[in-house]
Amino acid sequence: MTQFAEFDLPAELLEAVTQSGYKELTPIQRETMPAILEGRDVLALAPTGSGKTAAFSLGLLKEIDLGLVQTQALVLCPTRELADQVAGQIRKLGSRLPNLKVSVLTGGMPLGPQIASLKVHDPHVVVGTPGRIQELLRKKILHIRSLKVLVLDEADRMLDMGFTDQVTDILSRTPPKKQTLMFSATMPEAAEHISNQYLNDPLKVDAQSEAQHADIRTHFYRVGESHKLQALAQVLHHKDPQACVVFCNTRKMCDDVQHYLDQVGFSALALHGDFEQRDRDEVLLQFANESANVLVATDVAARGIDITHIDLVINYDVPFEPESYVHRIGRTGRAGAKGDAITLVTEVDGGRVQNIEDHLGTAVKPEVLRVTMKPTGVKHYAPMQTIRIDGGKTDKLRPGDLLGTLTGEGGLSANAIGKINIMPTKSYVAIKRGQVQDALNYLRNGKIKGKRFRAGLLK
């Protein structure tokens, strides 16, 4: 099978697939979807960007009985941002299903509103993080007696983060008769134990080798350690990516690289484990809405990022483990798009490069990169900037309210406004860089729905 239309899917789902722009199946979709749609358990080794989310989303949506107002599908994710992304894709693919309710239940968010929402009526689909789901199950607020499909997404990451006890407790509370789908980039011992104990004769799929992506052009460049920052700037200047992730091995290096890139004219943001949840959310939001074109991140911080328009990945540091190399470069070349992955190699990196060669089974021959670039004064700023407004869903703000205000009384054209994100107490709107001050001036002096809200520029 090569097309979604070849599957026995309801017309509403096929319509949403077409509307979402999906065309040919990815390898993981080809291999897992027949079993998923048959109701069989699946254990798949699949990295981020392989198309797994669409595969399990369509499978669980096919099973939903919209007339039964009970939770019938549960997706466990390691992080809040991944849960948001997965829920967004489920909503998109389920957009033609009338009255479908999808709830995101994660830590880092107030518990009260989540409890209040669940008390009104059960959602059909729940996407959440293990700690919060376990808490709601223990309080008997979340009911899963009618559960049909359970998905463990990025299972290895959940276990790496210390959620083993929570995951096994949740699994023990689920009905014995259900479909379990487990997706993992690697298969550590803890993940293997869970699969052996809780999956029933699963179809086993290894999409790792196929995920080394014909759509990704890979290059290794040999550079001197003392010229590494200039080499990075030279590559970025030459490639001028729409969105690039630069990987570093340490938090300090992330900060140092981000600071340098910011100084030489790139819209760069850092992301690592020292970030508080709100700061992390705002960094990812700016990267996703094109207010930053370079994200400098560690491996741990970047897990779970699902942004499809990344056209370049740069390994500023060669990763310690060869598996990390595969995960890193898998951030680009997604959904049929072409991407580039560049690794900077210094004289001390020979052992790590050899490990990558052994893992991939192919020879790696670094090219010598002549570093000629000096600061040119050319700026590669992202096209948008983000305004944060101190009002959100609790103030009954909607995207249309902000769009209408800014294009009406605010005087902006509609094409000056990018993505709008409404959170419980904050809202974020991306504005074209040249017009952001006009938008700020209006928001600071004007009103939205008859009220004044504080507004400021995210940096």
Say whether both 364 and 390 belong to one domain: no
Residue type, 228: K
pLDDT tens across 289-341, in order?
A: 999 999 999 987 776 566 778 999 999 999 998 888 888 888 887 666 788 99
Which of 155, 180, 210 lies at the terminal end of a domain, its last residue?
A: 210
Say whether both 206 and 230 belong to one domain: no
CB neighbours of 403 closer than 8 A, spacing ≥ 6? Answer: 414, 417, 420
pLDDT tens across 69-124, in order?
A: 999 999 999 888 889 989 999 999 999 999 999 999 998 788 999 999 999 999 99
Say whether both 105 and 152 belong to one domain: yes
Say whether both 357 and 217 belong to one domain: yes
Which of 343, 368, 393 lies at the terminal end of a domain, its last residue?
A: 368
Say whether both 311 and 399 belong to one domain: no
List the 42-45 sheet strands across, edge first.
Answer: 102-105, 125-128, 73-76, 149-152, 179-184, 42-45, 203-206
Say whether both 262 and 161 belong to one domain: no
Say whether both 347 and 402 belong to one domain: no
Q: What token pair was written down for 430?
A: 């991306």
Helices (H), 188-321: 189-198, 228-239, 251-263, 277-288, 299-302
Q: What token pair was written down for 153?
A: 């997404």
Segment holding 34, helix H or strand E: helix 27-38
Give the CATH number, domain containing residue 394.
3.30.70.330
Total residue count of the chain as it appears in this document: 459
Helices (H), 77-227: 80-93, 111-120, 130-138, 155-160, 164-173, 189-198
Q: What token pair was written down for 135?
A: 């808490």
Give the CATH number, domain containing residue 31.
3.40.50.300
To the nearest whole percent, how much of the chain has pLDDT over 90? 64
Domain that holds residue 452: 384-457
Say whether both 71 and 163 belong to one domain: yes
pLDDT value for 214: 55
Q: What token pair was written down for 110?
A: 């107030």
Res. 376: pLDDT tops 70: no
Q: Which single residue is written with the structure tokens 């291999």?
A: 31
Mean pLDDT of 219-230: 93
C-alpha torsion sign, points 323, 328, 333, 334? positive
Please count the structural domains in the chain. Answer: 3
Q: Answer yes or no: pTM beyond 0.85.
A: no
